[in-house]
């Protein structure tokens, strides 16, 4: 009987709620490592880009000389899951970025920052995600972005009742507008770990 490999997963730890992701991924059986330097991207099977402030994350990734290494890793097929600001970082196009703001790219989507308003307008709702078995996902939105446009390479996997896209997938990449790491529903992280595990098996 062959045992599945334990995936080694990084969480970008420049800013934002990276600790929550480390806790969730560890609870699901992954070996985890906070990533702050390019060398820490070596020998990982997947990466989570957490929520936070996307423009600050962009500046810090450039300051720490991480941005180009991250782009190469994404281009090489590394499984990456971005939540909230992480979704913005993975988007090929930012509709309303601040002057000079750049993303890492990879997801063929256009994303709008803070689409639901300020922190005080955060909310929770159930989102039907057919690719996940079980009931709808109870999603927490905190100063959340929204996917304005889904290009032909990407697939919408979570849509609000009003039609706004809040979860997307493209091969090894996945992004959500909301924060599964602050709930008890770990199906998105488990789906991401399946991708990381598949890479570790190669």
Cite the active site residues.
Answer: 84, 179, 181
DSSP string covering 102-153: -----EEEEEETTTT-SGGG-EEEEEB-TTSSSSPEEEEESS--EEEEE-TT
Answer for the pair 112, 101: CB distance below 8 angstroms, yes or no: no
């Amino acid at each position: 009987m062959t045992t599945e490999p334990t995936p080694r997963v990084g969480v970008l730890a420049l800013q934002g709620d990276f600790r929550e992701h480390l806790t969730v991924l560890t609870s699901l059986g992954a070996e985890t490592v906070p990533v702050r330097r390019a060398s820490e991207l070596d020998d990982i099977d997947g990466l989570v880009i957490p929520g936070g402030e996307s423009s600050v994350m962009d500046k810090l990734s450039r300051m720490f000389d991480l941005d180009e290494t991250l782009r190469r890793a994404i281009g090489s097929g590394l499984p990456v899951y971005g939540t909230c600001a992480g979704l913005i970082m993975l988007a090929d196009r930012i509709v309303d970025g601040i002057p000079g703001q750049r993303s890492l790219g990879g997801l063929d989507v256009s994303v709008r920052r803070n689409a639901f308003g300020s922190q005080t307008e955060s909310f929770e709702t159930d989102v039907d995600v057919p690719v996940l078995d079980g009931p709808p996902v109870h999603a927490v939105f905190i100063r959340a972005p929204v996917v304005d446009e889904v290009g032909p390479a990407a697939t919408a996997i979570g849509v609000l009742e009003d039609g706004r896209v809040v979860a997307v997938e493209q091969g090894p990449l996945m992004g959500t507008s909301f924060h599964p790491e602050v709930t008890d529903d770990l199906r998105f992280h488990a789906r991401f770990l399946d991708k990381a595990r598949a890479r570790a098996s190669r």
